Structure 1
Amino acid sequence: MENDEAPYLHILEKLIRFPTISRETNLPLIDYSEDFLNSRGFQTQRFYNKQRNKANLMARIGPDKKGGLMLAGHTDVVPVDQQAWTNDPFRLIKKNGCLYGRGTSDMKGFLALALEVAASIESHRLRYPLYLCFTYDEEIGCGGAKALIGYLKTLSPPPRFVLIGEPTDMELVTAHKSIQITTTHIRGKPAHSSCPQLGASAIVFASKLIAALEEILPPEENRDFNPPAATFNVGTIQGGTAINIIPEHCQFDWECRTLPSQNPAQLNEAWEHLICSLRKQIPGIEVENHIKTAVPGLKSESNREIATWLKGFLEEGKIGTAPFMTEAGLYQQAGLPTVVCGPGSIQEAHQPDENISIHSMENYRIFLYKIVGSLMEQE
């Protein structure tokens, strides 16, 4: 990178080099970020996972006064396995007005901007505190943010709101769907395929469950979302032993993304009712469900005023919703009003040759400086 370029470029170059795929450690990135912030007057604290190979980082600067701001983002990225990358995914490449590398859009571009802005702060001018929160394992169920809820509830004084910099094309997201990921394992009874009446097919049972999946919730739509209703997806399925054996086992992984107004407990009750109903039709079947992860949606209850205020810092500020999940619902559960707004597009996230436009980064950079500037005393 050229020496005369914006500071965030040098920071982002370092962040991209850390291969923080969710299955790997994020500690080298945390080490770098903590050293960076400590050297600029921030007080920092780590929160390790049980294996102590990953950590959340909380940083704070400014007076003990209610009304501050928390900039929040996750440090992990999705794998690059079997993706056709043109360049090394863990090396920042600048070309055609864009920055390429795993995590540029989701969401190390935001982290780099947050660190640049943090470095610019004159702490003696702060009227309110600034917090930074970098988490682990967002991509595989928000484990880091879940582990922080208890601590965030004890923050005193609490920040006025949390800004999560997920890629929203700088749209201010005040609501998004929840997600639940479930593994369903079905055990039937094997038999010779010429005598199906002697067995119970786990695959047939699974196919009936899957066929009925999208009908288990009462119809509900919210036109603020696209798609406007809950969505389901069966992502993996495996089962059976041989073509001439009635299959004894079948397992599939499925997800449901519900509207913020829908209760996940209703989903699970309806699922169990469907299973009981089908077992009467196909006796000899046993079913086990394992909820692998559940993350709450974001409700636009406590954050509308904040979003309206933030809109004033954008030239073309839009307030809307998102179909994807973030950590925002967890921060909301901790009692912190939360808005999601970041540079880049979700369409670039998780893709080979993931990238973010420099124009988007520069626009968000201006936005972030304005917001953090509002914490300062005027000269």
Structure 2
Amino acid sequence: MLIMPMLQQLIATPSISSVNPALDQGNRAVIELLAGWLEDLGFTVDIMPLKDPRKANLIATLGSGPGGLVLAGHTDTVPCDEARWTHNPFKLLEKDQRIYGLGTCDMKGFFPLIIEAARQFSRHTLQQPLIVLATADEESSMSGALALAAAGKPRARYALIGEPTGMKPINMHKGIMVEKLIIEGRSGHSSDPTLGRNAMETMHSAMGELLSLRNELREKHHSPMFNVGHPTMNLGCIHGGNNPNRICGHCELGFEIRVLPGMDTVALQQQINDRILPFRERDGVTISLEHYCVPAFDSGAGSTLVKICESLTNYTSESVSFATEAPYLKDLGMDVVVLGPGNVEQAHQPDEYLAIDRIQPTVDFLVQLIGRCCL
């Protein structure tokens, strides 16, 4: 079994993606590792370059024909604070029946398990193709998934995304609207407020409107399918001003909204604009909003793949509040389920790990799934 050597190389190859350019890295080296391993198994490999030359998607196909199964995952990781780790996050460590390293859980650790399962079919004649999909920038801009959507590929009947779900099939998740509110005022000496336009004071008013909107969304929208059954809004980070005796001339707020399936995100974006933009005239400031949205996902009541995964895992499908690339693959016409060996509680945390006792059951599950969908 070559799982550990492959995982060791993947963890040792940093591929952090971040909205902060100072932290953002490429994933091309990870893609090339996967491409080489899959080519050795007889896969036909297609590397899709992205606008950033450091980044790419990978579509590797074994067999041909209509239908088939996509096994998908993202190759990037979140940034990490190495000082909070008890060991090197880029060096695989096996300890206490766990495998530690950045990406072991979310979600580089899924790829060696895919390859180990696919190895058992490398000499079979598949009736339907097996496709391994590896993407870029899921943790930041979704640029990899957006490029796939624009290209209209890959095409298959089924798709499984190996995000950390504790091997439970996920048939529904919330969407996420990521927002950046920028207010430009005018700095000046704090001894005379008329000398400037305080961007932080306008931000205070804007935050009050956002919190009121949060309460309204909570009252208006509810779904019993989620543990947190209403939309959530998080005011995540704020930066403004540079000295107590200077009028704040610039202030930025980063916030996000987790929306339920069926909510109209275009209308919600307009609500945000309508509440905040009027402060421009009132306060004599400039206001801009930057945003992107990952849609909510619902596999649908008639999903065949949900039923297959439930029968193979003995788990009933569930919903989660985190977002994935599932809606983009569904829009390509695939029946999609999110299911992987890690636990989301270990993701995005110092000392991220994958439990060793999850490895062989996941390989066994993937072998059965490939058999059901491709033979």
Give the deviation of 1:300 after TM superposition: 3.0
What pairs up with 1:48-59 in 2 under 5 angstroms?
A: 48-59=49-60
2:158 matched residue in structure 1: 161
Equivalent position of 1:234 in the other structure: 235
Q: Which runs of 5+ in 1 are unaligned?
A: 1-5
Task: Report the 3-state secondary structure (helix = DSSP H, G, I; strand = E; otherwise coil) of the residue aligned with 2:200.
Answer: helix
Correspondence for 2:20: none
Partner of 1:366: 364
CA spacing shift, 1:122–1:111, aligned 2, 3 Å: closer
Which residue number in structure 2 is paired with residue 332 of structure 1?
330
1:67 and 2:67 are equivalent in the alignment: yes
Q: Residue 205 of structure 1 corresponds to which residue in structure 2? A: 202
Report the 3-state secondary structure (helix = DSSP H, G, I; strand = E; otherwise coil) of the residue aligned with 1:374.
helix
State yes or no: 1:247 paired with 2:248.
yes
Query: Residue 273 of structure 1 aligns with which residue?
Result: 274
1:20 corresponds to 2:36: no
> Which segments of 5 or more consecutive residues in structure 2 lack a partner in the other structure?
18-23
CA contact (8 A) 1:214 1:231 kept: no
Q: What code does the residue aligned with 2:76 have? A: D
- Superposed, 1:23-172 pairs within 5 Å as 23-64=24-65, 66-153=66-153, 155=154, 158-172=155-169
* Per-residue Cα deviation, 1:81-130 (whole angstroms, up to 9, x for no partner): 34421222112111111111111100111111011112221443312110
2:288 aligned partner: 288
Distance (whole Å) between structure 1 residues aligned to residue 37 and residue 82 of structure 2: 34
Deviations 1:246-287 (A, max 9, x none): 32221111111111211111221111111145456x431321
Q: Equivalents in 2 of 1:80, 1:27: separation in Å? A: 19
AA aligned opposite 1:347 = E
Superposition deviation, residue 233 in structure 1: 1.6
Distance in 2 separating the partners of 1:260 and 1:233: 18
Query: Quick check: 31-40 or 119-128, which moved more?
Result: 119-128
- Percent of paired sites with the same residue: 34
Give the CA deviation at 1:242: 3.2
Q: Distance in 2 between matches of 1:237 and 1:348?
A: 26
Q: Is the 8 A contact 2:177 2:256 kept in 1?
A: yes
What amino acid is the match of 2:11?
I
Cα distance in 2 for partners of 1:303, 1:85 equals: 44
Partner of 1:257: 258
Change (3 A) 1:24 1:283: closer
The answer to whether the Cα contact below 8 Å between 1:166 and 1:342 also exists between their aligned partners in 2 is yes
Return the alpha-carbon distance in structure 2 between the equivalents of residues 335 and 83 of structure 1: 44
Question: In structure 1, what residue type is equivalent to 2:90?
Answer: F
Shift of 1:303: 6.3
Structure 1 length-normalised TM: 0.90
Partner of residue 21, structure 2: none
Given that 1:150 and 1:334 are in contact with CA atoms closer than 8 Å, whether structure 2 keeps it comes out as: no
Alpha-carbon deviations, 1:41-66, whole Å to 9, x = none?
111101011232111110111131x3
Question: Structure 2: which amino acid aligns with 1:350?
Answer: H
Match of 2:3 in 1: 8
Distance in 1 of aligned mates of 2:157 and 2:111 = 20
Deviations 1:295-354 (A, max 9, x none): 11212327633201221111x312011111111111122222211000111110111111
Q: 1:224 maps to what in 2?
A: 225
Q: 1:15 to 1:192 in 2, by over 3 A?
A: closer
Task: Work out whether residues 83 and 352 of structure 1, in 8 Å CA contact, stay in contact via their aligned partners in 2.
Answer: no
Name the counterpart of 1:304: 303
Q: 1:123 to 1:263 in 2, by over 3 A?
A: farther
CA distance in 2, matches of 1:190, 1:86: 44
How many positions carry a matched residue from both structures?
Answer: 365
CA contact (8 A) 1:303 1:339 kept: no
Distance 1:267 1:376, change over 3 A: closer
Taking structure 2 as the reference length, what is the TM-score of the superposition? 0.91
1:223 offset after TM fit, Å? 2.0
The aligned counterpart of 1:3 is none
Which deviates further from its counterpart, 126-135 or 299-308? 299-308
What amino acid does structure 2 have at the position aligned with 1:336? M
SS of 2:344's equivalent in the other structure is coil
Asked if structure 1 preserves the Cα contact closer than 8 Å seen for 2:299 and 2:336, the reply is no
2:106 match: secondary structure: helix
8 Å CA contact 1:141–1:294 kept in 2: the answer is no
2:322 alignment partner AA: F
RMSD: 2.0
> Partners in 1 of 2:192 and 2:58 — Cα distance?
60
* Separation (CA, whole Å) in 2 of partners of 1:121 and 1:14: 23
* Cα distance in 2 for residues equivalent to 1:312 and 1:115: 23
CA distance in 2, matches of 1:259, 1:283: 34
